Amino acid sequence: MNAIILSAILGVIMMFSGIWVNNKATLRWIALAGLLVLLISNIAEMYGYRIWNVNVHNMLYFDRFGLLFNSVAIGSTFIFVALSGSDINRVGKYAAEYYTLIFFVLTGITIISVYTSLLMLFLGIEIMSIPLYILTGSDKRNLKSNEASLKYFLMGAFSTGLMLMGITLIYGATGSFSIEVLNNPAIAQGVSFLEITGMLFLLVSMAFKVSAAPFHFWTPDVYDGAPGVFTSFMATVVKAAAFIAFVKLFDARMSYSSAVVDWKMLLCILIIATLLIGNITAVFQQSVKRMLAYSSIAQAGFMLFAVFSMNEMAKEGIIFYAVSYSLATIGVFAVLLKMKDFTFEGYNGLAKSQPVLAFANTVFLLSLAGIPLTAGFFAKYFMLASVIQTGHYLWMVIVAVLFAAVSVYYYFRVIQAMYFKTGEGETENIHPGFKTGLIILTVIIILLGVAPNLIINFLYF
């Protein structure tokens, strides 16, 4: 509860500081301080210190899994603001409002990682999405940003409609909005068809939210059209949060209905389609930003394995995947935003002009591709190991490894452009602090790649 209330309050504080503080750099420091307070309060809650004792009437349940993910999300946002804060300030006039909206998104995220009532899932997803529609459209003069915002909004509202229909049908069958199924009369008399239909509606709407194929078509346009900083935020923290909600929902409700619906087969189709479309289309992109949009679809395919296998290892894995994927993508985007040209050619010769940026970018891309000694390797390893633990559909592991090999191709195109091609590698002015931040991020990613237990131990101790 600490993080939910504090992030809302901090949002209001940011809003008012926009009135009195005119210097955008100061706003960024306020936001960073706020995020630090938020992170500390959330970690304190993991160890039992609660600032507010609120009776939540069984709508939220603060378990280790959800709280750890909150810490991860807040920490990633902290790194995101620290690295790309200057780019947020460049998007438009309303820097204070952008930080406000980011805090409100965090409120939504901290709700959907601990919900136990479908009402809170619905509210959390809406609190998370509505500020994002605005952040997507914050570059008001840019037609692409407008387009992205409208597309994201219509798709988001449409999938919310589907989700509500699903929730309603589940309510009709069970008489409660709880995601637990303990006192369910339906178990005694077999699973109700209405409930199954409701679960299918929820599956489709969650697939929309995490951009799994074939419901991914909005993703490339939205990620490409939105201002780059906010794409970085959307593709990492927000997407990971949607996955946590997805995992929580199906963790509670999948197993007892599996006699009627073969969820594993449905998810298998989703995963294969997502991996196929994400990876193959990413190969043909000319713009690095658009390539990253498709690669985020491909990474979503890997994260779906957690929903597929749904065991202890999958839950550990999804948290670790969220960390490694978020950190690496935030890093790649932070470098991308400093480039003058977003195509592959723009990266030519970056190793000569900015060796630090090029090296850090290489580590981030290697992590995204899942090369050993980086965090991305263990993330993918956990996902595939969890599938092997279930003992079903083992051939999917081989398919996934093949697609990971395909992904190496398009990530290496960037590395090749930086190191082996001659060019200017033009960038904006690089602040020494930015380089330090990148180096710290690189060290974190390599550290997690050597000792993944640093994160996972938090689940248990």
- CA–CA gap between residue 406 and residue 4 (Å, rounded): 40
Smallest separation (angstroms) from another protein to the CB of 8: 5
Among 101, 179, 249, 306, interactor with another protein by CB under 8 A: 101
107 binds another protein (CB under 8 A): yes
Tokens linked to 277 = 């479309």
- Give 98 or 382: the residue with its C-beta nearer to another protein: 98
- The one-character DSSP state at 226 is S
Among 4, 337, 357, 383, interactor with another protein by CB under 8 A: 4
Among 154, 394, 402, 447, interactor with another protein by CB under 8 A: 154
Task: Give the residue among 353, 366, 354, 342 at the shortest CA–CA distance from 415.
Answer: 366
Do residues 221 and 151 lie in contact, with contact meaning Cβ atoms separated by under 8 Å?
yes
- CA–CA gap between residue 128 and residue 119 (Å, rounded): 14
110-149 residues in contact with another protein (CB under 8 A) are 111, 119-120, 122-123, 126-127, 130-131, 133-134, 137-138, 140-141, 143-144, 146-147, 149
Smallest separation (angstroms) from another protein to the CB of 173: 7
165 binds another protein (CB under 8 A): yes
- Give 140 or 392: the residue with its C-beta nearer to another protein: 140
3-state SS, residue 320? helix
104 binds another protein (CB under 8 A): yes
Among 12, 33, 51, 401, interactor with another protein by CB under 8 A: 12
Quick one: how far is CA 399 from the chain centroid?
Answer: 23
Do residues 70 and 42 lie in contact, with contact meaning Cβ atoms separated by under 8 Å?
yes
DSSP letters, 129-198, are HHHHHHHHT-STT-HHHHHHHHHHHHHHHHHHHHHHHHHHHHHHHHS--BS--TT-HHHHT---HHHHHH
Whether the CA torsion 162, 164, 166, 169 is positive or negative: it is negative
> Any bridge partners for residue 60, and if so which?
115
216 binds another protein (CB under 8 A): no
Per-residue mark of binding to another protein, 169-208 (x: CB under 8 A): --xxx-xxx--------x--x--xxx--x-----------
Tell me which residues touch another protein (CB under 8 A).
4, 8, 11-12, 15, 54, 56-57, 59-60, 92-94, 97-98, 100-101, 104, 107, 111, 119-120, 122-123, 126-127, 130-131, 133-134, 137-138, 140-141, 143-144, 146-147, 149-151, 153-154, 157-158, 160-161, 164-165, 167-168, 171-173, 175-177, 186, 189, 192-194, 197, 221
